[in-house]
Amino acid sequence: MTNEQKHELTSRRTFAIISHPDAGKTTLTEKLLLLGGTIRSAGTVKAKKSGKYATSDWMEIEKQRGISVTSSVMQFFYRDHHVNIVDTPGHQDFSEDTYRTLTAVDSAVMVIDGTKGIEAQTLKLFKVCRMRGIPILTFINKLDREGREPLELLQEIEEVLGIESYPVTWPIGMGKRFQGTYDRFEKKIEVYRGNEESVFIDFDGENVTEELTKYIDPAVIPSLIDELMLIDEAGNDFSIEKVKNGTLTPVFFGSAIANFGVQSFFNSFLNLTSPPQSRMSSNGEIPIDYPHFSGFVFKIQANMNPAHRDRIAFVRVCSGKFERGMTVTLPRTGRKIKLGQSQQFLASDRETVEEAYPGDIIGLYDSGTYQIGDTIIGGGAMFQFEALPKFPPELFRKVRAKNAMKHKHFDKGMTQLVQEGAVQLYRTPFFGDYILGAVGELQFQVFEYRMKAEYGVDLEFTSMQHNSARWIAKDDVKHIKTDSRAMLVEDLDGNPVLLFENDFVLRTFTDKYPDVKLSTIFEG
């Protein structure tokens, strides 16, 4: 590895912000971009969300609904670091894309609304991050509002998420009484002054100084000292190893909208997270100093520009250096590909990227070459990065073409979109009916839109009550009795899968057949 490569690598931080809708992810992202000077004024990210931003070449469905269906990538430079924020859709109707995006990042920031605590979508996304063992930092937002008690929020993080917490900053009051936060590492108070810039004052956590009483209401100082003592004595010890393996989350308090606590949070973030690490592959670990370029496709986005019907494969760079025009191998097919057209993303602008390093996300024009999970490699070696995890669908729909004459287009679209990973597909054994599985309602809508736009096929959906899929061994099929409530279908590769109508049916089945092993994913 050259010195240049080493420098580029160690300065990279690639992360996602996970949260429940309305917790403040967009606002925080905006403030982070401002820190990096990427956007001139706050509001750019927000405006995009409300549909005012000129995103004319994004999918029509995004515009119609004023939401970001796709996960875009924002890059900025801050304090000698190249920062990549990989955005995840901020809507409740999220999809497998959201989950897969988390396989392309090295850490995550969990934004929690301090007035609400942990919400459903945060929990789902958290579980995926946890599975990957990546650092997760927590930003408790909206301290300018009356919210829940900080200790109660920490307890909830520990109990609901099953992760240790360590408050790096500690709030002094909240809502109208919010006065600032105390940084336990820096031993400084950031004083909240509404629209005015924060002031930082020293405080050792015990000794009251004149400066302290000048900025902080003396009436609250004794309880602040008590609380700091309490979290010191009763709270978890800080451990950077635990942060790095994702078993302890450093917690920060602030107000994204007031841009309070954001900068100190992000400075700590850069220190507490690691640059890109080595990844597992079919040839064992590919060390981060592996000299040749390698990366994997974690997302394919079609129709970025409907006029050209183009598709973009999003690649996470894992090793070496990407250079535009280089030739890589796609081990799945053995094909050699010249990477002539590549893009990088800055908020929602795109520009051609000439070079990229581990941690970066690049977009490659795709004319049907790539599939989700594909590895691409420079330098002649042949290996594949570990397969992306499959996420068990929770929603199912029967689907067919409205016009039976279109069945060829229907089959073609179905095969291509399913291969791309847009939805999961099952067939019923005798009639061969198509059943789609998804983790979010939006996946069906995007699928329907794309079948129409790209293959000219109108779809007809029949809703299904089923809410879970379980794989079973082929040998077990003959020992069980199935019906419409525990329905036997096959996945794309002909493996038997049971779709259960609800948790009760699933429980009854497991009670009846205790020896039949049910798996949420196909285990081979």
Pick the piece of the chain touching ligand G4P (CB under 6 A) from 22-30, 80-88, 183-191, 436-444. 22-30
Residues 450-469 touching ligand G4P, rule: CB under 6 A, are none
Q: Which residue spans within 208-320 are E strands per DSSP? A: 248-253, 279-281, 284-286, 294-302, 311-319
Please state the residue numbers annotated as binding site. 19-26, 87-91, 141-144
The pair of three-digit structure tokens given for residue 226, joined into one six-digit string: 């008590």
Residues 205-264 touching ligand G4P, rule: CB under 6 A, are 255-257
CB-CB contact of 363 with 344 (8 Å): yes
CA angle (297 as vertex; 244, 24 as ends), nearest 5: 55
State the number of binding residues for ligand G4P (CB under 6 A). 17
- 80: three-class secondary structure by DSSP: coil
Shortest approach of ligand G4P to residue 87 CB, angstroms?
10
Please state the residue numbers annotated as binding site for GTP. 19-26, 87-91, 141-144
In terms of CB distance, is 191 or 228 closer to ligand G4P? 191
In terms of CB distance, is 27 or 71 closer to ligand G4P? 27
In terms of CB distance, is 108 or 417 closer to ligand G4P? 108
Shortest approach of ligand G4P to residue 23 CB, angstroms?
5
CA distance 62 to 210: 54
Residues 25-64 touching ligand G4P, rule: CB under 6 A, are 25-27, 46
In terms of CB distance, is 67 or 417 closer to ligand G4P? 67
Shortest approach of ligand G4P to residue 487 CB, angstroms?
36
Give the nearest residue (CB) to ligand G4P: 26
CB-CB contact of 328 with 87 (8 Å): no
- 405: three-class secondary structure by DSSP: helix
In terms of CB distance, is 45 or 304 closer to ligand G4P? 45
Task: Give the list of residues 6+ apart from residue 33 with CB closer than 8 angstroms, or none.
Answer: 39, 44, 45, 74, 76, 85, 347
Shortest approach of ligand G4P to residue 8 CB, angstroms?
30
CA distance 481 to 302: 41
In terms of CB distance, is 27 or 319 closer to ligand G4P? 27
CA angle (361 as vertex; 359, 364 as ends), nearest 5: 145
In terms of CB distance, is 259 or 343 closer to ligand G4P? 259
Task: Return the DSSP state at 509.
Answer: H
Q: What is the arrangement of strands in the sheet containing 73-78, beginning at the earlier edge strand?
A: 73-78, 81-86, 12-19, 107-113, 136-141, 248-253, 164-167
Shortest approach of ligand G4P to residue 90 CB, angstroms?
4
Strand partners, 193: 196
In terms of CB distance, is 145 or 485 closer to ligand G4P? 145
Among 16, 21, 31, 424, binds ligand G4P (CB under 6 A): 21
Q: Which amino acid is located at 420 in the chain?
A: E
Half-sphere exposure of 150 (CA within 13 A, CB side): 30
What is the bridge-based pairing of β-strands 459-463 and 395-401?
antiparallel
Shortest approach of ligand G4P to residue 147 CB, angstroms?
10
Pick the piece of the chain touching ligand G4P (CB under 6 A) from 16-24, 195-203, 375-383, 442-450. 16-24
The pair of three-digit structure tokens given for residue 353, joined into one six-digit string: 């990227």
CB-CB contact of 12 with 98 (8 Å): no
Among 9, 12, 19, 99, binds ligand G4P (CB under 6 A): 19
CB-CB contact of 298 with 372 (8 Å): yes
Other C-beta atoms closer than 10 Å to the C-beta of 296 total 26
Residues 132-151 touching ligand G4P, rule: CB under 6 A, are 141-142, 144-145
Pick the piece of the chain touching ligand G4P (CB under 6 A) from 23-31, 268-276, 293-301, 404-412. 23-31
Residues 72-131 touching ligand G4P, rule: CB under 6 A, are 90
CA distance 18 to 417: 26
> By rule CB under 6 A, what string of x and - marks binding of each residue 300-319 to ligand G4P?
--------------------
In terms of CB distance, is 42 or 418 closer to ligand G4P? 42
- 249: three-class secondary structure by DSSP: strand
For ligand G4P, the binding residues (CB under 6 A) are: 19, 21-27, 46, 90, 141-142, 144-145, 255-257
